[in-house]
Amino acid sequence: MEKQQLLYEGKAKRVYATADPDLVIVDYKDDATAFNGLKKGQIQNKGVLNNKIASYFFELLAAKGIVSHYVRRLSEREMLVKKLEILKVEVVVRNIAAGSLAKRLGLEEGTSLRRPVLELYYKDDELQDPMINEYHLYALGIATEEQVRELAAAALKINEILTASLQELRLLLVDFKLEFGLFHGSLLLGDEISPDTCRFWDAETREKLDKDRFRRDLGGVEEAYEEILRRLTGGN
């Protein structure tokens, strides 16, 4: 499958057309941003690591019945995916208070939540992705009630699958962000699942093994991403 014209360039990925109008190629970059693009940098080899980590998660979810845009990994940095019409909503699931939730509710980072929290954010860079609720989605025509029911159920199911599988690798899934899109009318999981979009902590030491190392200048960023891939696949 050959790359054709560049369709879209985001902060961490480029998307290319292919000869098949239903399929696009995602090319994972090393560029990293935080705080809505205010902080910019590069994480050496991130594109390669995230492509492998996201492929691993999409394959794991597929085996458990969660359909995504993922078709197959093509190369070190490239993934073949179905072309979705992405819904303008980011779906965040949280198991442990961290980041913006800890700040907003005055919780100490690391506080366990009694049950998972699902949050919705309006995907709009200029507005810095404000938090919204399902009624905003209906009012703005971003999603229907049925789609919101479907994506919320999928997000919570994905949380159960990933939490259980990461627990075996001595990792805590603190929180993560998902995006969904439409493919010929059906709702599919899109985007990526990687240390850019999840918080992973070592279960014993609670060491951060994700993009918070970049956001908070903790050092050892590339090593953290490598550690995640190593635990998931044994280094392959």
Q: Which is nearer to ligand TMP, 22 or 131 (CB)?
A: 131
For residue 181, which amino acid is it?
G
Q: Which is nearer to ligand ASP, 57 or 214 (CB)?
A: 214
Q: Which is nearer to ligand TMP, 19 or 38 (CB)?
A: 38
Q: Near ligand ASP by CB under 6 A, which window of 35-43, 68-76, 89-97, 132-140? A: 35-43
User: Are 18 and 2 a contacting pair, CB within 8 Å?
Assistant: yes
Q: Which is nearer to ligand ASP, 36 or 233 (CB)?
A: 36
Using CB under 6 A, which of 73, 199, 208, 213 touches ligand TMP?
199
Report the Cα 183 to chain-centroid distance in Å.
19
Q: Least CB distance from residue 101 to ligand ASP, whole Å?
A: 14
CA–CA separation, 86 and 170 (whole Å): 33
User: Are 55 and 40 a contacting pair, CB within 8 Å?
Assistant: no
Please count the residues of this chain forming the interface with ligand TMP, following the rule CB under 6 A: 12
Nearest residue to ligand ASP by CB is 33
User: Are 200 and 162 a contacting pair, CB within 8 Å?
Assistant: no
Q: Which is nearer to ligand TMP, 126 or 146 (CB)?
A: 126
The yes or no reply on residue 46 touching ligand TMP (CB under 6 A) is: no
Task: Find which of ligand TMP, ligand ASP, none residue 199 binds, CB within 5 to 8 Å per kind.
Answer: ligand TMP
Q: Near ligand ASP by CB under 6 A, which window of 29-37, 52-60, 101-109, 198-206? A: 29-37
Report the Cα 169 to chain-centroid distance in Å.
19
Nearest residue to ligand TMP by CB is 99
Q: Which is nearer to ligand TMP, 17 or 152 (CB)?
A: 152
The yes or no reply on residue 100 touching ligand TMP (CB under 6 A) is: yes
Backbone angles phi, psi at 105, to 5 degrees: -100, 5
Q: Near ligand TMP by CB under 6 A, which window of 12-20, 48-56, 68-76, 91-99? A: 91-99
The yes or no reply on residue 19 touching ligand ASP (CB under 6 A) is: no
The yes or no reply on residue 180 touching ligand TMP (CB under 6 A) is: no
Residues in the site for ligand TMP, rule: CB under 6 A?
Answer: 92, 98-101, 129, 175-177, 197-199
List interacting residues with ligand ASP (CB under 6 A): 11, 33-37, 211, 215
